[in-house]
Structure 1
Amino acid sequence: MNLFYSPGACALASQIALREAGLNFELVKVDLKAKEYSGGDYKKINPKGYIPALQLPNGHLMTEGAVILQWIADQVPDKNLLPKYGTMERYKAMEWLNFIATEIHKGLGSLFGGAVMNEETKEQIKGKVQLRLAVLDQHLQQNPFILGETFSVADAYAYNVLRWTGLVGVDIAHHKALQNFISKMADRPTVKEAVAAEGIRL
Structure 2
Amino acid sequence: MKLYYSKGACSLVVRILLHEIGIACEFESVNLKTKQTETGGNFLKINPKGSVPALALEGQEVLTENAVIQQYLADTYQATHLLPPVPDLRRYRVLEWLNFIAADLHKGCGPLMKPALPEEIKENVLRPVLHQKLRYLSERLDKTPYLCGEQFMLADGYLFVILSWFPALKEKWTDWPVLSRYFNPLKERPAIQKALAEEGLS
Alignment TM-score > 0.5, same fold: yes
> What does 1:29-68 correspond to in 2, within 5 Å?
29-37=29-37, 38-68=39-69
1:73 aligns with 2:74: yes
Give, in angstroms, the shift of residue 174 of structure 1. Answer: 2.7
Residues 30-86 of structure 1: per-residue CA shift (max 9 Å, x gap): 011000001410000000001001111232111110111111111232551111133
Residues 135-160 of structure 1: per-residue CA shift (max 9 Å, x gap): 11111111111111111111110001
2:139 matched to which residue of 1? 138
Question: 1: CA distance between counterparts of 2:82 and 2:33?
Answer: 33
Q: Work out whether residues 111 and 117 of structure 2, in 8 Å CA contact, stay in contact via their aligned partners in 1.
A: no
1:102 matched to which residue of 2? 103
Q: Work out whether residues 98 and 155 of structure 2, in 8 Å CA contact, stay in contact via their aligned partners in 1.
A: yes
2:94 matched to which residue of 1? 93
2:148 matched to which residue of 1? 147
Question: 2: CA distance between counterparts of 1:81 and 1:63?
Answer: 20
Partner SS for 1:167: helix
Question: 2: CA distance between counterparts of 1:40 and 1:175?
Answer: 41
Q: Greater shift after overlay, 171-180 or 13-22?
A: 171-180
Question: 2: CA distance between counterparts of 1:81 and 1:98?
Answer: 15
Query: Partner letter of residue 149 of structure 1?
Result: E
- Give structure 1 regions of 4+ aligned residues with deviation exceeding 3 angstroms: none
Partner SS for 1:30: strand
The unaligned stretches of length 5 or more in structure 2 are: none
TM-score by length of 1: 0.94
Q: Percent identity?
A: 38
Give, in angstroms, the shift of residue 90 of structure 1. Answer: 1.4
TM-score by length of 2: 0.94
Q: Work out whether residues 146 and 155 of structure 1, in 8 Å CA contact, stay in contact via their aligned partners in 2.
A: yes
The unaligned stretches of length 5 or more in structure 1 are: none
Aligned length: 200
Give, in angstroms, the shift of residue 99 of structure 1. Answer: 0.7
Partner SS for 1:170: coil
Question: 1: CA distance between counterparts of 2:66 and 2:79?
Answer: 21
Q: Work out whether residues 81 and 153 of structure 2, in 8 Å CA contact, stay in contact via their aligned partners in 1.
A: yes
Question: 2: CA distance between counterparts of 1:111 and 1:25?
Answer: 32
1:24 matched to which residue of 2? 24
Question: 1: CA distance between counterparts of 2:176 and 2:168?
Answer: 16
Query: Partner letter of residue 98 of structure 2?
Result: L
Partner SS for 1:40: coil
State the superposition RMSD in angstroms. Answer: 1.4
Q: Work out whether residues 108 and 165 of structure 1, in 8 Å CA contact, stay in contact via their aligned partners in 2.
A: no
